[in-house]
Amino acid sequence: MNRTFTLLAMTAMTIFITCRPSAKPADINDPLAANRDTTVAPGTNFFYYANGGWIKRNPIPSSERANGIWLTIEDGVKDAVKEICESSANASATIGSNKQKIGDFFASGMDTLTIEKMDIKPLEAEFNKIDVIKDIPGLLSSIAHLQTLQVGAMFSIYVGRDDKVPTQYAIFLNQGGLGLPNRDYYLNTDARTANIRSEYLKHLQSMFQKLGYEPIAAGKNSKDIMALETSLAKASRKLEDLRDPYKNYNKMTIEELNKLTPSIDWNILLKEMGVAKLDTVVVGQPEFFKALNANVKSVSIDHWKTYLRWNLINTYAAYVGRQFEDQNFNFYSRTIYGIQEPKPRWKRVVEKTNRSLGEVIGQEYVANYLPKGTKEKLVEIGNNIRNETRERIQRLDWMTEPTRQMALKKIETMVMKVGYPDKWKDYSELEVSRDSYAQNVMNAHKWSFNYMIRKYGNPVDRLEWNMFPQTYNAYYDPTGNEIVVPGCNIIVPGYGKKLPDDAVLYGIIGGSTFGHEIIHGFDDQGSQYDETGRLNNWWTKEDREKFEARTKLLIEQYNNYVVLDSLHVRGEATLGENIADLGGIQLGYSAFKKTSQGKSNETLNGLTADQRYFLGFAYAWMVQIRDESLAAQIMTDVHSPVQFRVIGPMANTPDFYRAFNIQPGEPMYRDEKIRVSLW
């Protein structure tokens, strides 16, 4: 046994002591064999063949939108965070210390007696400010102030690396201001969406009545809000159209922006938000801001005030009295996502404490819960995948030399942030007390807004993370040419104290995590950024055309997948993710083939090493999702539903065909002429 094996045995053991809920059944001998539904042939639907047994045995809990491997891992992390919260709440911590902040935030959220007694009192001062608005300058300054509390009225703003000058930060202004998840909810005519719209009107009415309005006035408010938001929705871009980095990058001076929107004085807005010395902004969708301007001119101040009251209560409904929280759940969780009942209170409060104090909790999580050696093991797998990417780029038969050299440069310089940040964010300005949960949430929102705004004008912080170590997810940032893989990605449930074999590790951590994120640097969007993170074309015309001919096939492949009755996967909106899944599965496989298990092709529990690799990859997506949530995903998410994240890439991978002897005529079979190979 080599060093790797020992380390993993150790980490695997610690992981399941600390990260898995102890109440759940511990050891299934071999999840890959046990999760299957062998009544489904691999060539019919590999997702159900691999995961169908588990799915049949594990219905979705009534308080969740989905069930599967993610929930198991996230519940384990949540148990750890709960321990951190509770022990902090019980400690006698110094005011201003991390422990005090975590403990008081959590305790204030669990104190339902005080929350009920105060109801919406913590928001009163904010409602009063809206009441006294008299004119457009007053409206604008109120909107700016509400933005600092992360009330997303009118538009959305963020500070990030400038796509064309990635060594500097820019301020980005984007479409926003909607109460429903996106524009399609206002405009689509199918029955499911029409029903959500009519439920939204009822929800608005109910929220206004709870705020003290008479039914007739509440009804009128609801219609006014719907009219205003529909007008903004009509001027908003579709999911697909938000993916073009050039079209959504329109840099202008403040003078130019003020000319585009003469009724909106951006000097007032930006000053109120704390932006100093501003020369330019990047406007994502100029036509949206034009429409916003028209609304500022034509919609009465009274209607705008109604809209702001709605935005305020909508942002904070989950942190005030029960009547607001329940009504908020009823619409946003039950109607839109099909969730039947709220999660236990401790879970909701742990989630919000974790989101608000992520890096403070992260420090505790890394020190006391993340298995020793996690970072090293993740880095090792990550490096193997990077080496594989390099080798595959060197071998690509469709790419000419100049583009290949640039692609190699990009993979060489790609930054890998793994495990946890080298430098933690400073939360010292964030005030937390046990007095009011809603106030704590407002303070946290304000802290995080200020943290973001203050970046502007300062040098780019290359050590910053936009995800917590305890977040089971990962990302690629094209403007930094960097991938970020948080520590808890080391967790693979279901192996008890035994070591998951390399097939599983390379399927999940190698293919679906590192491989997937690395390939985002080379997907239809990421590949438009160079190795320094600049939006800058490094392709020859000929190679780009070849790339696009291949991605066109991928778009068609996914457009044909049916999700739910008439709903199809949106091939164009999901293209970047589908390219990443395809590259991920193939990189993970070639890296796996260099391990001793991959070379030996030994059989384990009746499964060959290659079969185990592909089952391992499918295990990463062993999730079942409510129909309502699937419909919402198709409308708002650039990721394909899990089933197609398995069968889509596999149907393009010859090694998969060999491993399971997939034959022409089987549903998984794609003719060689239309199989896509990119990276």
Q: Which residues lie below 8 Å from residue 376, measured CB to CB, with a gap of 6+? A: 7
Beta strands in 406-480 (DSSP E): 415-419, 475-477
Cβ proximity to Zn ion, 411 vs 580, nearer residue: 580
Distance of closest approach, residue 429 Cβ to Zn ion, in angstroms: 33
> Could you give the 3-state DSSP secondary structure of residue 212?
coil
Cβ proximity to Zn ion, 273 vs 580, nearer residue: 580
Do strands 66-68 and 623-625 pair parallel, antiparallel, or not at all (unpaired)?
antiparallel
First to last CA, the chain: 33
Cβ proximity to Zn ion, 430 vs 580, nearer residue: 580
Distance of closest approach, residue 577 Cβ to Zn ion, in angstroms: 5
Instruction: For tokens 């105060």, name the residue.
Output: 118
CB environment 417-451: b (16+ within 10 A), e (fewer): bbbbbeeebebeebebebebbbbbbbbbbbbbbeb
Region of 23-31, 266-274, 395-403, 579-587 interacting with Zn ion (CB under 5 A): 579-587
Region of 107-115, 271-279, 319-327, 572-580 interacting with Zn ion (CB under 5 A): 572-580
CB environment 284-323: b (16+ within 10 A), e (fewer): bbeebbebbbebbeebeeebbbbbbbbbbbbbbbbbbbeb
Cβ proximity to Zn ion, 343 vs 645, nearer residue: 645
Region of 77-85, 118-126, 342-350, 580-588 interacting with Zn ion (CB under 5 A): 580-588
Q: Are 449 and 150 in contact (CB under 8 A)?
A: yes
Cβ proximity to Zn ion, 48 vs 465, nearer residue: 465
Distance of closest approach, residue 580 Cβ to Zn ion, in angstroms: 5
Distance of closest approach, residue 237 Cβ to Zn ion, in angstroms: 20
Cβ proximity to Zn ion, 74 vs 577, nearer residue: 577
What span, in angstroms and rounded, lies between the C-alpha atoms of 46 and 23?
A: 31
Distance of closest approach, residue 520 Cβ to Zn ion, in angstroms: 6
Q: Total residues at the site for Zn ion (CB under 5 A)?
A: 2
Q: How far is CA 349 from the centre of its chain?
A: 20
Q: What are the two backbone dihedrals, phi and then psi, of residue 419, each rounded to the nearest 5 degrees? A: 90, -80
What span, in angstroms and rounded, lies between the C-alpha atoms of 294 and 121?
A: 34
Q: Report the side by side order of strands in the sheet with 415-419.
A: 415-419, 482-486, 475-477
Region of 65-73, 365-373, 408-416, 575-583 interacting with Zn ion (CB under 5 A): 575-583
Distance of closest approach, residue 262 Cβ to Zn ion, in angstroms: 40
Cβ proximity to Zn ion, 74 vs 517, nearer residue: 517
Region of 292-300, 345-353, 409-417, 569-577 interacting with Zn ion (CB under 5 A): 569-577
Cβ proximity to Zn ion, 48 vs 472, nearer residue: 472
DSSP letter for each residue of 323-384: HHHHHHIIIIIIIHH---SPPPHHHHHHHHHHHHSHHHHHHHHHHHTSPTTHHHHHHHHHHH
Distance of closest approach, residue 615 Cβ to Zn ion, in angstroms: 21
CA torsion angle for 531, 534, 537, 543 (degrees, to 10)? 30
> Could you give the 3-state DSSP secondary structure of residue 429?
coil
Cβ proximity to Zn ion, 482 vs 577, nearer residue: 577
Region of 88-96, 110-118, 190-198, 577-585 interacting with Zn ion (CB under 5 A): 577-585
Region of 185-193, 296-304, 480-488, 573-581 interacting with Zn ion (CB under 5 A): 573-581
Distance of closest approach, residue 475 Cβ to Zn ion, in angstroms: 7
Distance of closest approach, residue 144 Cβ to Zn ion, in angstroms: 33
Do strands 280-283 and 169-175 pair parallel, antiparallel, or not at all (unpaired)?
parallel
Count how many Cα atoms sit within 13 Å of the Cα of residue 225 in the half-sphere of its side chain.
Answer: 29
Region of 234-242, 312-320, 326-334, 578-586 interacting with Zn ion (CB under 5 A): 578-586
Cβ proximity to Zn ion, 584 vs 598, nearer residue: 584
Distance of closest approach, residue 418 Cβ to Zn ion, in angstroms: 17
Cβ proximity to Zn ion, 320 vs 580, nearer residue: 580
Beta strands in 536-629 (DSSP E): 562-564, 567-568, 603-604, 607-608, 623-625
Distance of closest approach, residue 645 Cβ to Zn ion, in angstroms: 10
Query: One symbol per residue from 130 to 159: x for binding Zn ion (CB under 5 A), - otherwise; what is it?
Result: ------------------------------
Binding site for Zn ion (CB under 5 A): 577, 580
